[in-house]
Amino acid sequence: MTQLRVSEAAELLGVSDDTVRRWLDAGRLLPGGEAGPRTVDGASLAALMSDQSPQSPPIRQSARNRFSGIVTRVERDGVMALVEIQSGPHRVTSLMSRESADELGLAPGVRAAAVIKSTNVVVEIDDHS
C-alpha cells in the first residue's frame, strides 16, 4: 500500500497540511497503516482526487503571506462581513461578502488563515527611536 506524508498529500491536493489532517480526522481521507509520523493512504488520496470536479481544480496561489490563526470577531450586515483573525501577535482584518463568510462558516473560535497578496506596502517610522 502506498503511503504519503501529510505534506505530500497537501501539495497534490493544493490545500494546507492542516486541511489534510482535518480530512483524515473526518474520514474523508484514510490514514496510512504504519506507526510513526501520520501518513495518508495513497489509494484514498487517488479516489478523492479523481472525485474532484474537473471544473474546480486544486487552488494554487502565488500569495506568500499566510497568517494562520483563529477568528475572533465576525460582523455581518446585509451584504458584507468584517472578519478578524488573531495570528500570534498579529490581528488581521478582512472585509468580504456575507455570502463568503457564511459559506466558510466563519464565527469566533473557528481556525482560519488570512492569505495576503498586496501590491501596496505601508511603511511607518517609529517616533520613539
Residue 58 domain-assigned? Answer: no
Under a CB-based contact definition with an 8 Å cutoff, are residues 67 and 84 in contact?
A: no
Give the count of domains, the chain.
2
Residue 122 domain-assigned? Answer: no
| Residue range(s) defining the domain that contains residue 72 | 65-116
Instruction: Give me the count of residues in the chain.
Output: 129
The predicted-structure confidence for 6-22, as pLDDT tens digits, reads as follows 998 888 888 899 999 99
Position 89 pLDDT exceeds 90: no
The predicted-structure confidence for 44-68, as pLDDT tens digits, reads as follows 888 887 776 454 455 566 667 888 8
**What local confidence, expressed as pLDDT, does residue 98 receive?**
96
Residue 104 domain-assigned? Answer: yes
On whether both 77 and 101 belong to a single domain, the answer is yes
What mean pLDDT do residues 105-116 have? 89
Q: Is 81 helix (H, G, I), strand (E, B) or coil?
A: strand
Radius of gyration of the chain, Cα coordinates, nearest whole angstrom: 18
CA trace torsion 87, 93, 98, 104 (10° rounding): -20
What mean pLDDT do residues 73-92 have? 92
Supply 31's cell numbers.
490514514
Q: Is 116 helix (H, G, I), strand (E, B) or coil?
A: strand
